[in-house]
Amino acid sequence: MKPFSFLSFGKKSRRKKTAKNRRWLTKRKFLLVASLVVLLLAALYIIYLDFTVRTRFEGRRFALPARVYARPLELYAGLKLAPSELVAELALLGYREATSPREPGSYQWRNQQVELVTRPFTYGDGPQESSSLRVSFAGDRVTALQGRADNAAIELLRLDPALIGGIYPGNNEDRVLVRLDEVPQLLVDALIAVEDVRFYSHRGIDPRGIARALVMTVSGKSVQGGSTLTQQLVKNFFLSSERTVRRKLNEMVMALLLEVHYSKEEILETYLNEVYLGQDGNRAIHGFGLASSFFFDKPLMQIDLTEAALLVGMLKGPTYYSPRRHPKRALGRRNLVLGEMAEARFITDQQLLAGRITPLGVVDRPPRGISPYPAFLSLVHRQLRRDYRDEDLRSEGLQIFTTLDPWVQRSAEKALSQQLKRLEQGRGIAADSLQGALLMTDVQNGEVQAVVGGRDPRFEGFNRALDAQRPIGSLIKPVVFLTALQQPQSYTLATLLDDSPLLLQQPGTDDWQPQNYDKKFHGPVPLHTALAHSYNVSTARLGLQLGVPSVLDNLGRLGVDRQLPGYAASLLGADTFSPLEVAQFYQTLASGGFRTPLRAIREVLTFAGQPLQRYPLKVEQVVDAPSNYLLTVALQEVVQQGTARGLHRYLPAELNLAGKTGTTDEFRDSWFAGFSGDRLGVVWVGRDDNQPAGLTGASGAMTVWAKMMVGLDLEPLILPIPDSIEHVWIESKSGLRSAAGCPDAVELPFVTGSAPTESASCGPGSKGNPIKSWFERIFK
């Protein structure tokens, strides 16, 4: 055993101490390096957050929905418009009745005068300022437009168009952007008093405010929260809604960074446009600019103290404090805000007392954001997709001016829903089993004035007007007869067609034996009579003589831009079409043979009001004037004495309407297409399950068409007679010339040189034997 040595013990002690120091130094270095790494990572993370803040905030590009407007009503002396119709239009626009109109968007109706103050609006051709005017009437016609201040005559004035819907971003956010100088100071004061009383003095976060809010919240004496306006903006603009420490730390850091780079005014303006303030169906109301319109139907600059206090109070819980659903809660919350404003010396005690007894003042009206015309809006969206990306439609704030006529649309909706109900009740059909669809267009320019996709016009689902593919039955027959009339040396309105039994046998297909609706055959019938009474057999035989491909080629020229199979049954409407497609080819016939693509859009403006694209009228003549004239005369006969003669129970004969009924096998589909001098309407009635509806074209769709047109101001259909047309008296039975006053004589138009040269016994230059003459003509 070694002896004990103090020297050796000291050496061991020093070695242990040195090792301990080395370990401590190593640990210290590690901690220092770790701290530096943490600081570096924190710095990098802050740089990342700073980049995020500056990138997102400097753009400050809110996703703005496209806004869709109806046509503006143009007022001028001589316009056929009743005072009640003008008032109905003003109500649709949200104008308020007032004893003495002074504010834009107000009116007064007294006897034969309507005084109003229009709203300013920016059109593609420039801004239109607000006008104060008087509209005078005599019966149902405008006699004068005058300025209320100086009685100066006004030649033409456009009302602001009705907002009929929007195309919203994927999250369905909607907002109306406002600049800070467009925000009333009392709204800013209310916001500062309630949400962030030290907004103009802190640098993004407010430790004193957090402590004060905590104490006051516990005591129940305040409505303030702990987050500053800047923090709230960061949370809404950059972060998710999760409640974690990490998100809160991010919020505080980003709030500090935001205040470093941007002014209080920029932060406040963005906050005012960003915040969520309510829900309109599936549309989210964001920003005070839209909220003022949604709740008070007025621009933000026009709201008063109590309205500003209500909007600010709703920030705490837009659903919980909704003034429409929970008015008592909203009233209490608003009054708390007024109290905070008084405590912060933004308002006087007198203003506080007066404000607390003021009603909420929220307007009770259908919300504008959810389109009342989903079927029409669907057509607009489809046409826009041809020229714009969907993301641009949903985010760039485009202004879309359409062709929808609210007055026509209302008449169409009412006619369809009410008449379907009457048909069910009157014919013992199960309630709500019938469906329908219709379109109305302007025959001169192809503008779509109304679209109804079903008996419930507010339903946003299946749009039968655009998407229902149904056999059209006899609606195809005018195309067959037009194809014949385009060959005037072979076919005229007087040409006798064979309506005797027909059997078509073709290899690989079933025998085809068409029947007439009355289950009878009518022998030789004049071409115009065969169309007027919608004889199937004579039409089929005519179409086979012309050739099915020729008929379908004509249909393509009229506006149907897809290939059809081309069966013999196509001649009687076995092919399926949507009401929109039917409207397109009938539009060509109604406009005198000029094909005009149907359009629902007039022009598109940017958010700033700059013209982006116009949709000009495109016209191409595809049917010669004489042939189209002859066919239209025949379609007028359909209404006068053919399958659509029942229209005279609803509309005066002086309108000279033209149209065609359509019925499909087993009465599954009921159609009517008809036009006046200014409007074309196409109606389909049937069942979604394709079961028989028990209705012909005349007993179903035509009655809807008639009810719709009764509510409108139709122009008579007065046909200009082409130079190459002559009128000749014809004996119907023989198809030979006759004379006025002779039995069975009818005056028909012909292309010059195509009228028969031989005469019946009663006519001049008679050959004496009409039967012999007829046979000689047939077998020459």
Strand-pair partners of 621: 594
Q: What is the largest CA-CA distance in the chain?
A: 167
Number of H helices, E strands in the chain: 23, 31
CA distances to 486, 509, 510, 580, 583 from 569, rounded to whole Å, are 22, 12, 11, 22, 21
Question: Cβ distance 467 to 578 under 8 Å?
Answer: yes
Q: Looking at 322, 371, 411, 474, which residue is catalytic?
A: 474
State which amino acid sits at residue 420: L
CA distances to 296, 361, 716 from 103, rounded to whole Å, are 14, 17, 41
Question: Cβ distance 405 to 449 under 8 Å?
Answer: yes
Q: What are phi and psi of 449, to 5 degrees?
A: -95, -25
731 is catalytic: no
Q: Looking at 115, 173, 195, 637, which residue is catalytic?
A: 195
CA distances to 324, 332, 339, 353 from 356, rounded to whole Å, are 18, 9, 9, 5
Nearest to 175 by CA among 266, 290, 72: 290
Who contacts 644 (Cβ-Cβ below 8 Å, separation ≥6)? 638, 659, 660, 661, 672, 674, 697, 698, 702
Q: What are phi and psi of 83, to 5 degrees?
A: -55, -40
Measured CA to CA, the distance from residue 615 to residue 613 in angstroms comes to 7
Neighbours of 713 (CB within 10 A): 14
Measured CA to CA, the distance from residue 121 to residue 136 in angstroms comes to 23
Classified as helix, coil or strand, 359 is coil
Structure tokens at 668: 């599954």
Residue with the two structure tokens 């003459």: 773
Pure H helices in 453-502: 464-467, 477-485
Measured CA to CA, the distance from residue 544 to residue 430 in angstroms comes to 40
Residue with the two structure tokens 């079927």: 375
Measured CA to CA, the distance from residue 631 to residue 574 in angstroms comes to 22
CA dihedral of 193, 198, 200, 201, whole degrees rounded to 10: 170
Q: What are phi and psi of 3, to 5 degrees?
A: -70, 150
Q: What are phi and psi of 324, to 5 degrees?
A: -85, -40
Measured CA to CA, the distance from residue 24 to residue 33 in angstroms comes to 14
Residue with the two structure tokens 């062709």: 403
Who contacts 772 (Cβ-Cβ below 8 Å, separation ≥6)? none
Question: Cβ distance 478 to 660 under 8 Å?
Answer: yes
Pairing of strands 669-675, 523-526: unpaired
Question: Cβ distance 83 to 114 under 8 Å?
Answer: yes
Q: Where are the beta strands (DSSP E) in 598-744?
A: 601-605, 611-614, 620-621, 658-663, 669-675, 679-686, 725-731, 736-737
Nearest to 410 by CA among 72, 707, 130: 707
195 is catalytic: yes
3-state secondary structure 628-646: HHHHHHHHHHHHHHCCCHH
Measured CA to CA, the distance from residue 495 to residue 774 in angstroms comes to 11
> Could you give the residue numbers annotated as active site?
195, 474
